[in-house]
Structure 1
Amino acid sequence: MATIHIKRVDDAYAMEASDTNGHSLRMDAAEAIGGHGSGIRPMQTILMGLGGCGGIDILSILKKQRQEIDSFEMVVNGERETGKEPALWKHVHIQFSFSGKVDLDKAQKACALSLEKYCSVAATLRTAGCSIEWDVEVK
């Protein structure tokens, strides 16, 4: 079982979440609803989790294939439902970028394996009706 502790840290909506290892993340509401914009919006943490989960899988797969990765980055864009409460993620696009001695076919297959089979965050989003697409480039 995972345990996360969350505490309010200001007089509005800012909160700090921490895990049992002492890692923390600050969250806050948008200024439009009374937050101070001093942290990540909670729904954005889901996209961060998707990127982190997928990234760990992808790097693990490519390391096992002895690919020489000099750099690895991704940009995750998400679109939420409009006019609904709660407003779930309806579409996510990820742009994966690699540099080094990385075979494009292997990188594409690693991304597909992660997002279609191994990544629990991707599976959670898909179960909620979100579509996930991605592109891969090797520089």
Structure 2
Amino acid sequence: MNIKVNMKPEQSFTGTSNSGYLVSLRALDLMEFDREGLASTDLLLMGVGSCCTVSAMHILHKSKVEITEFRTQVTTVPEESDLSDLNAIHLQFDLTGHQLIESTIRRALNLGTEKYCHVSNILRRAGIDITHAFALHSPTSEPPNAHETSISTLKTQGIHHVALISTNYEASRKFYAEIMRMQVEWEPDSDNVYLTNGNDNLAIHRGNPKDSNLDHIGFILNSVEEVDQWYSYLRDNGVKIAKEPKTHRDGARSFYVYDPDGVSVQLIYHPPLSKQASNS
């Protein structure tokens, strides 16, 4: 990166970015130069504000969240500080869109400000505390049938797995892994194993079933955000929730509901298999 700062003949300054964009810079007061243009503090706050905003917006775009307006206000602590006494920066995000899900927005903003924005990371290493908050807003007028349109786009990628409770765990594991030649995808402990053949998946759990060996069936989803969208959709339609949404230690996220016959149904985002399903 190569940034240039030049003084023009009339003793004003310009800055030129690596890509050739030009910006007028404000000279220091003690030099009694023209005070038009951006001060160094302005540039710093614009940098961290734009970096965090663009990073979060990129995540939301990948998650197919439609934002109609995104405003970011950046303030310093103390509010009238210059770079010499700056100790904290606060970002207030205001997002407008249809059917925005709070957990999805929070995740994107957290990642954008705390992980992916290199400007905020540099400032934190320099001892500057960076905080943020957000507010969600609905457009002044909802489009016709906005809720129905949003719901109609929800779909699973098919049945992800069947989970069995086995009273003879070792024999069942050997049957499916060795005789049926399924691959062990994950075996977190001696009581649980997750098998796959690339398309179909089977989970075996050690236990003593009361009525049936079927523990649950699982449907695969495309993203973490879809897990929360499906949860809200099923809950709003009166479906009985068995377990609330939870992020698992392998990076998956899921929740459980009961079908009308009491069968447990899991809706899950599982990183490798979700990607495979969406590409098939």
Question: How far is the alpha carbon of 1:16 from its aligned partner?
Answer: 0.7
Q: Which residue of 2 aligns with 1:137?
A: 135
- Which one has the largest radius of gyration? 2
Flag as ranges the 4+ runs of structure 1 deviating above 6 A: none
Match of 2:3 in 1: 4
Q: How does 1:47-62 map to 2 (within 5 A)?
A: 47-62=45-60
How far apart are 1:88 and its partner, in Å? Answer: 5.0
Deviation at 1:136?
Answer: 0.6
Q: Paired residue for 2:34, among 12, 33, 36?
A: 36
Amino acid at match of 1:93: H
Query: Contact (CA 8 Å) 2:70, 2:95: kept in 1 or not?
Result: yes
Task: Say which is worse superposed, 25-34 or 104-113, in terms of deviation.
Answer: 25-34
Counterpart amino acid of residue 21 in structure 1: S
Indicate if the aligned counterparts of 1:75 and 1:94 stay in contact, CA closer than 8 A.
Answer: yes
Aligned residues: 136
Q: With structure 1 as the length reference, what TM-score do the two structures score? A: 0.85
1:100 maps to 2:130: no
1:35 Cα offset (Å): 3.6
1:78 aligns with 2:76: yes
1:57-77 deviation digits (Å, cap 9, x = unpaired): 111000011111000010000
- Name the % identity: 24
Q: Offset of 1:105 from its aligned partner?
A: 1.6
CA RMSD of aligned residues (A): 2.5
Change (3 A) 1:103 1:9: farther
Aligned counterpart, 2:87: 90
Consecutive unaligned residues of structure 2, counting only runs of 5 or more, are 138-280
RCO comparison, higher one (Cα < 8 Å, 6+): 1
